[in-house]
């Protein structure tokens, strides 16, 4: 990725950034789901 940045290879940079972003979102979602599963005091609430 760093070599792609140096060479201004934008499709490779975009692909790497997208993979990192999707991985970050997926890990956060898994942590949130696991937290709700492991701690029964955590309840889903509506915004109303």
**DSSP states along the chain:** -HHHHHTT-HHHHHHHHHHHHHHHHHHHHHHHHHHHHH-TT-------
Residue with token string 């499709």: 11
Say what the pTM is: 0.67
Residue with token string 């709700």: 36
| pLDDT over 70 (residue 47) | no
Instruction: Say if residues 4 and 15 touch (Cβ distance below 8 Å).
Output: no
**Cα–Cα distance for residue pair 3/44, rounded to 1 Å:** 44
Q: Give the pLDDT confidence of 2-41 residue by residue, as tens digits.
A: 788 788 888 998 999 999 999 999 999 999 888 878 877 7
| pLDDT over 60 (residue 46) | no
């Amino acid at each position: 990725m760093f070599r792609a940045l140096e060479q201004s290879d934008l499709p490779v940079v975009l692909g790497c950034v997208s993979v990192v972003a999707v991985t970050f979102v997926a890990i956060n979602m898994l942590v949130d789901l696991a937290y709700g599963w492991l701690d029964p005091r955590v309840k889903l609430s509506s915004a109303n």
